A and B are shown apart, each in its own frame.
Chain A
Amino acid sequence: MIPLVLFHNSMSSLKPCRATKTTTGEWPNGARENEVIRLRGYLNQEFMPKHVALIMDGNGRWAKKRGLAVQDGHKSGRINLKYLTYNCSNLGIKMLTAYAFSTENWNRSRMEIAFLMTTFEEFIQSLVEDLMTRHDIRFSAIGEKSRLPESLQSAISKAEEMSRTNKGLHFVMAMSYSGRNDVVEAAKIIAKKVERGTLQTSEIDEAMLEQELMTNIGQFPNPDMLIRTSGELRLSNFLMWQLAYSQFYFSDKLFPDFGEEDLLEALASYQYRVSAGFESDWK
């Protein structure tokens, strides 16, 4: 794809000389670690993005490529997400918002939806047991939580309550979320204020609308960069308002294959653009 090639051209000096993987797709001993260490060396803490958004695309295709069931793809995706969260926490990123389930996904088969909901519960559980206690990670969920099954809703509120005072990486999971619905819900809250007479329509401004968005929960509500895996070059109704000035990074890798070295490459691409200064005509 031309845009992805162009990203690589613009940082050709940073392009890794890929060590060859073995036939099973595994990295030879030590090669992946070397790659990671090499990429880490390029990164500058000063230009690290504060808030990274992630569209985790490609679980189904990953499973299909290996002749596995879709559920196995989602399971690998869940495990990979945990590692990525851990990596982001280590790199000093302050917020990570992951697009787990969009409102459009409710059209999928009942079986797949049920499996996904169980996967999310398992993920939250593993976060609680592991990353929250050892790495001080804070958990939040955004989206139409009322549409989620009861057990998942209670897992979410339990995890949110437990980690409310944690000071580490703030992990936000978007479930049953849609960027447009987010804006419309904020508009409804403002409309209520207008109806009650506490607000005049002429007083409605951008800051007011932004404050009522679901993402107004962390210190850095707007992502500095968005990473989307599996080669799709679109936003698919994720964090629409909040991505106004975010850098996009599109990776060809399917989500379960998106490892630490890919994350580091994405961050290096972001830092290259940011440190080069905004010479562009547009912010």
Chain B
Amino acid sequence: MEKQSSNLATQLIEGLCSFLRRCICAILSAGSLPRHVAFIMDGNRRYAKKEGLLEGDGHRVGFTALMNMLKYCYEMNVKYVTVYAFSIENFKRRPEEVQSTMQLIQEKIESLLEKESIVNQYGVRVHFIGNLKLLSKPVRLAAERAMNATAHNSTATLAICIAYTSTDEITNSVEEACKVKMDELGGNEIDSKELHIDVADVEKHMYMAVAPDPDIIIRSSGETRLSNFLLWQSASSLLYSPRALWPEIGFYHLVRAILDFQRNVTSLETKLKQS
């Protein structure tokens, strides 16, 4: 009886929060909304230390925060969301920590494919962005399965950057562009054209070619660096650094970021017209 009533209370509160969120979304959509929001999920380990949890549990709480933020973004009709899950630099951590993080990632990738997951709820297509060859086989296979399973979804896109750094992405893109051009040259034996590479060639082979440039990049925990994330794509992105640690981030921070974005969009447009 008690459990039923507490479930009912939780449902009522959930329903009320959801209604309030929808009101705020309606108000915000009076201005322009960002098409693509990117998150650097910083602060899980510090949160665990602060709350006296085991290190791995910080990441678990962080995952819940991520699911909430995704829900808020998709409710707001943000079509593309990118998250920085694991950098190539992070492989340099203690092997036990890397191992446990990888296990958690694999577990969570598999949970994404479940029926009630956010992916199916909002019709999200999942992409895993990065040098996937650096991942262990089980994680890589799970990622590929997730990508195949969601390939038919078209309402929204989620790009998870794993084994990723922006400099690696650019280097790989240059390598691919050179390969493609060499193949083209090799085919034409009579005409020796120069191996000509331009901006479009580099952009074509980027891992992140699946999404437009981010409008907002949100890094939690107050740090003001990009840490080798989306360097190429962030040329005109608004950078927002709330002080909350990643597990503490919520709807409020997303709203503030969007309000800042709306304030900047008008000034950016006038500046672009001027310049």
Contacts and interface: CB of A to CB of B under 8 A. Distances in A.
Nearest to B263: A1
B178 interface: yes
Contacts of B82: none
Nearest to A239: B231
Interface in A226-277: 232-237, 240-241, 243-250, 273
A3 interface: yes
Interface in A185-221: 187-188, 190-192, 194-195, 201-202, 204-206, 209-210
Contacts of B198: 184
A206 B167 contact: yes
Contact of A184 (B42, B199, B274): B199
Given A245-B228, A247-B224, A283-B227, A191 B238 contact: no
B46 A279 contact: yes
A281 B171 contact: no
Interface string B34-50: 00000011111110000
Contacts, number: 161
Contacts of B44: 281
B20 interface: no
Contact of A204 (B171, B199, B234): B171
A282 B275 contact: no
A6 interface: yes
Q: How extensive is the interface on chain B, given as a class? A: 35 or more
Given A234-B238, A247-B225, A6 B168 contact: no
A108 B275 contact: yes
Contacts of B202: 183-184, 187
Interface of A: 1-3, 6-7, 9-10, 60, 104-105, 107-108, 179-181, 183-184, 187-188, 190-192, 194-195, 201-202, 204-206, 209-210, 232-237, 240-241, 243-250, 273, 279-283
Interface of B: 40-46, 84, 87, 89-90, 165-168, 170-171, 174-175, 177-179, 181-182, 185, 194-199, 202, 221-229, 231-232, 234-243, 256, 260, 264, 274-275
Given A187-B174, A235-B235, 10 more contacts: A3-B242, A6-B243, A108-B275, A194-B182, A195-B185, A210-B167, A233-B238, A234-B264, A273-B224, A279-B46
